[in-house]
């Protein structure tokens, strides 16, 4: 029975069961995700939520990173989760077709701080939560995402609930209850991409997963199998044929190893990254002028453009989900940074004219197998008044097939914490996360996020 396999896996997995590569990849994902949260500091969506959180009746058991504010576990997870996805810089998993680390990490960080858990317990909870979330993604996709769901949000609440249940040492019976409750909290529509609601999806599923586990811890009850019956998760959320072996592959292999994670080099939708790499290569290796470009042709597998819903973006947030803008900006600026995705940058006249020349097409002959990390390839063809220039990319730099080095990962972490408020403590924070398995109390991770006296 599927739910029994999930519960047995969650309840029985311990730190000592984790392969060394899972531990190392977990730490790398945590370092990247911890840093990315700080990039959302002072983003409008974060400040709005901070004001809302301050108005709530709350505990002071968990830290909102950067804001010198402590609140309840669920509200800290909400805001940290939103900040970690505010500029779309967090990692991606091909089978999930979403972002696994940020909802899991923002939730377990809050609960581990409140419960004074160890680094090993944090690593174990992260590994279990991500494994559940990503394997579910491989089962229900591609139809789940094609139908319009945001898998990070829908499946994230289940992943979070399993991770928090692990921190609370739930029994198999308790895991059944928490899955039953969490699956009634599944939501998140792709229509909200390009607005504040997309990062809110992440914070909200982290909050919901924590609250589901806290309620079950107090004796809350739910249906013991909400996955396989008619009108259950698989019936409602996917058109894929349910397989009897689903759940048997948990930890065999671990998703943290195979297919692994894709770490972002650019703060925008991952569906644009290979095209961005191709645009940079073409512009650096050929002698054409932007004014000579007549047409830019994008070719990819069927379904590759599903999250790219803004053909003519007018804001920085919309630009993150516009392949036309990403290509135009890379050709014009030779880089993509946080500053690339402001309203002013998107609305430059030269950009608005260039993105009109970008055309997208799908090629049915390009085959994918996303559960194992195979996403086919893309082609970018730039037609000028003299000739055509073509670049083919299979894997973006930073993907599991072309991973960032430890040096690259460290540079990204320090870039994420480059604000003046954080630079003095950034090195200490990085070193602690690199040595996470030896930390005896997670509260050591908060050197610059303490309760501010009014």
- 69-95 tens-digit pLDDT: 899 999 999 999 999 999 999 999 999
The Cα 290–Cα 49 span in angstroms is 41
- State yes or no: cis peptide before 440, omega within 30 of 0: no
The Cα 411–Cα 414 span in angstroms is 5
CATH 3.30.1330.120 fits domain 270-393: yes
**339-380 tens-digit pLDDT:** 899 999 999 999 999 999 999 999 999 988 887 778 899 999
Identify the three-state secondary structure at position 294. strand
Two tokens, residue 239: 């058109």
The pLDDT value given to residue 448 = 53
The Cα 190–Cα 314 span in angstroms is 18
Domain with CATH 3.30.1330.120 in the chain: 270-393
Q: How many helices (H) and strands (E) does the chain have?
A: 19, 6
DSSP-assigned beta bridge partners for residue 388: 383
Q: Which helix (H) or strand (E) holds 156?
A: helix 156-167
**Contact status, residue 179 vs residue 226, Cβ threshold 8 Å:** yes
The pLDDT value given to residue 447 = 65
Q: Compute how many other C-beta atoms are within 10 angstroms of the C-beta atom of residue 352.
A: 16
**98-133 tens-digit pLDDT:** 999 999 999 999 999 999 999 999 999 999 999 999
The pLDDT value given to residue 388 = 94
Percent of the chain topping pLDDT 70:
98
The Cα 277–Cα 152 span in angstroms is 25
Domain with CATH 1.10.4100.10 in the chain: 2-237
Torsion, Cα of 298, 299, 301, 303 (10° steps): 30
CATH number (2.40.30.60, 3.30.499.10, 3.40.50.410, 1.10.4100.10) of 2-237 reads 1.10.4100.10
**283-322 tens-digit pLDDT:** 999 888 999 999 999 999 998 998 999 999 999 999 999 9
The pLDDT value given to residue 339 = 87
Two tokens, residue 400: 């599991």
Q: What is the DSSP string of 366-429?
A: S--BGGGTB---EEEEEEESS-EEEEEESS-TTSTTSPPPHHHHHHHHHHHT-STTTHHHHHHH
User: Looking at residues 387-414, what average pLDDT do you find?
Assistant: 93
Two tokens, residue 213: 């586990």
Which has the minimum average pLDDT: 141-145, 325-329, 417-421? 417-421
Residue 298 sits at φ, ψ, to 5 deg, of: -110, 130
The Cα 332–Cα 287 span in angstroms is 14
- Residue 77: closest CA among 54, 103, 106: 106
Torsion, Cα of 323, 325, 329, 335 (10° steps): -40
Degrees to nearest 5, angle at CA 176 with 22 and 110:
55
**Contact status, residue 196 vs residue 75, Cβ threshold 8 Å:** no
Q: Using pLDDT thresholds of 50, 70 and 90, give the confidence band for residue 451.
A: very low
**pTM of the complete model:** 0.87
Residue 210 sits at φ, ψ, to 5 deg, of: -65, -50
Q: Where are the beta strands (DSSP E) in 5-150?
A: 62-64, 69-71
DSSP letter (8 states) at residue 358? E
Q: Does the pLDDT value for residue 38 go beyond 60?
A: yes
What is the distance between the terminal CA atoms of the chain, rounded to a whole angstrom? 54
Degrees to nearest 5, angle at CA 20 with 17 and 24:
120
- Residue 341: closest CA among 355, 360, 322: 322
Q: Where are the beta strands (DSSP E) in 108-173?
A: none
**Contact status, residue 238 vs residue 143, Cβ threshold 8 Å:** yes
Mean pLDDT of the chain: 93
The pLDDT value given to residue 287 = 84
């Amino acid at each position: 029975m599927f739910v029994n396999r999930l519960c047995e896996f969650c309840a029985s997995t311990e730190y000592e069961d984790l392969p060394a590569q899972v531990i190392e990849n977990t730490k790398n994902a945590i370092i990247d995700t911890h840093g990315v949260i700080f990039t959302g500091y002072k983003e409008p969506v974060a400040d709005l939520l901070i004001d809302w959180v301050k108005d709530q009746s709350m505990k002071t058991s968990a830290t909102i990173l950067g804001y010198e504010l402590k609140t309840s576990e669920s509200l800290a997870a909400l805001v940290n989760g939103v900040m970690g996805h505010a500029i779309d810089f967090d990692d991606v998993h091909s089978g999930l077709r979403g972002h696994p680390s940020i909802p899991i990490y923002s939730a377990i960080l809050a609960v581990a701080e409140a419960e004074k858990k160890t680094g090993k317990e944090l690593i174990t909870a992260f590994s279990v939560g991500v494994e559940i979330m990503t394997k579910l993604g491989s089962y229900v996709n591609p139809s789940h995402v094609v139908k319009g769901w945001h898998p990070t949000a829908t499946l994230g609440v289940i992943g979070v609930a399993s991770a928090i249940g692990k921190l609370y040492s739930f029994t198999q019976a308790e895991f059944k209850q928490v899955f039953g409750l969490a699956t009634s909290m599944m939501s998140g529509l792709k229509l909200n991409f390009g607005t504040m609601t997309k990062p809110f999806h992440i914070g909200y599923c982290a909050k919901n997963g924590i609250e589901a586990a806290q309620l079950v811890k107090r004796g809350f009850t739910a249906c013991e199998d909400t996955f396989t019956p008619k009108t259950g998760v698989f019936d409602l959320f996917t058109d894929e044929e349910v397989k009897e072996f689903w759940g048997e592959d948990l930890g065999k292999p671990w998703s943290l190893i195979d297919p692994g994670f894709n770490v972002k080099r650019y703060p925008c939708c991952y569906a644009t990254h290979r095209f961005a790499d191709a645009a940079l290569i073409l512009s650096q290796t050929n002698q054409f002028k932007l004014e000579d470009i007549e047409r830019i042709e994008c070719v990819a597998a069927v379904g590759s453009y599903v999250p790219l819903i803004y053909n003519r973006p007018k804001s920085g947030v919309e630009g993150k989900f516009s392949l036309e803008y990403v290509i135009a900006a890379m050709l014009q600026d030779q880089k993509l940074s946080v500053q690339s995705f402001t309203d002013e940058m998107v609305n430059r006249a030269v950009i608005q004219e260039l993105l009109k020349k970008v055309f997208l097409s799908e090629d049915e002959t390009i085959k994918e197998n996303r559960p194992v990390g195979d996403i086919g390839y893309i082609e970018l063809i730039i037609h000028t008044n003299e000739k055509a220039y073509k670049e083919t990319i299979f894997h973006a730099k930073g993907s599991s097939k072309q991973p960032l080095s430890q040096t690259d990962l460290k540079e990204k972490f320090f870039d994420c914490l480059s604000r003046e408020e954080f630079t003095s403590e950034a090195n200490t924070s990085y070193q602690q996360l690199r040595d996470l398995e030896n930390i005896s109390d997670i509260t050591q991770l908060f050197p610059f996020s303490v309760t501010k006296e009014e």
